[in-house]
Amino acid sequence: MKIAIGNDHTAVDLKNVILDYLVSLGYEVINLGTDSRESCDYPVYGEKVGRAVVDGLADLGIAICGTGVGISLAANKVKGIRACVCSEPYTAKLSRMHNNSNVLAFGARVVGDEMAKMIVKEWLDAKYEGGRHQRRVDMVMEIEKKG
């Protein structure tokens, strides 16, 4: 499975921790983030991660900025993306199980390295349940079609 990862300048260190963690778990990782600590714009990287997922270059995406909010908003503007900001593992798990999220976002200024690893692990291990949840996911995607 391929995971696209993107980040802004606030999340270079955490991106590298998560990238190494993903590789240790056996995932192929596409690094779409900056490796510079010089100020840059998170929307660029949120869009890159979102496009990698919808274009099929990656199966899932991870986006990291200061809080996770801005980069997730950018990713969610890409048609077909369901990005979820998660600061703890339970929400990450349910975002996959119930919402079929395809991009995980979190904040380098909000979670530490070990919490970020736990969030990523729960998210990746969770499987979409479909069933009663599919109707709601379809409803969300219909909103997107309306523009």
Which residues are known to be catalytic? 65, 98
Q: Under a CB-based contact definition with an 8 Å cutoff, are residues 30 and 57 in contact?
A: yes
The Cα 70–Cα 85 span in angstroms is 10
Angle at 97 between CA 135 and CA 123, to 5 degrees: 145
Amino acid at 128: Y
φ and ψ at 40, to 5 degrees? -145, 180
Residue for token digits 């909010």? 69
The Cα 132–Cα 98 span in angstroms is 9
Cβ neighbours of residue 25 closer than 8 Å, sequence gap 6 or more:
121, 124
